[in-house]
Amino acid sequence: MGKRDDAQARRQAIIDGMLADALRPAYTYRLPSHHALPADIRHAVDRLLAKAEAERTRCLTYDDLEEALPPRDVTPEDLEAIFWILAEHGIEVEDGETG
């Protein structure tokens, strides 16, 4: 019975490890808060939030996003932060017309 118990313990350890990996967040860093973003990105987020509020919508278009972005190359991290903050406010960015 000793070999069977050892094999079962090894299998259980593998399963436990797989479960722990599956439950671990995909990334461990936090996105910056609105106030920690560069000023031009903060301004873009503020413009997008104001537009959504003025139109009383929870959906903006990629054209809206493009209009709000600063005239410089925006990093993937900046875009991720923008989408994150918009999502925190319940706003999605989609193709097409706002509704």
Q: Bridge-partner residues for 60, per DSSP?
A: 93
Say which residues have a Cβ less than 8 Å from residue 10's Cβ, sequence separation at least 6: none
Distance CA(34)–CA(98), nearest Å, equals: 24
pLDDT in tens, the chain (99 residues): 566 777 788 888 888 877 777 776 655 555 567 778 889 999 999 999 999 999 999 999 999 999 999 888 888 888 888 998 999 899 999 887 644
Give every CB contact of residue 85 below 8 A, 6+ residues apart in sequence: 34, 45
Q: What is the pLDDT of residue 49?
A: 94
- The DSSP symbol for 29 reads P
Q: What are 85's two structure tokens?
A: 């903050």
Its pTM stands at 0.63
Amino acid at 1: M
pLDDT computed for residue 5 by the predictor: 76
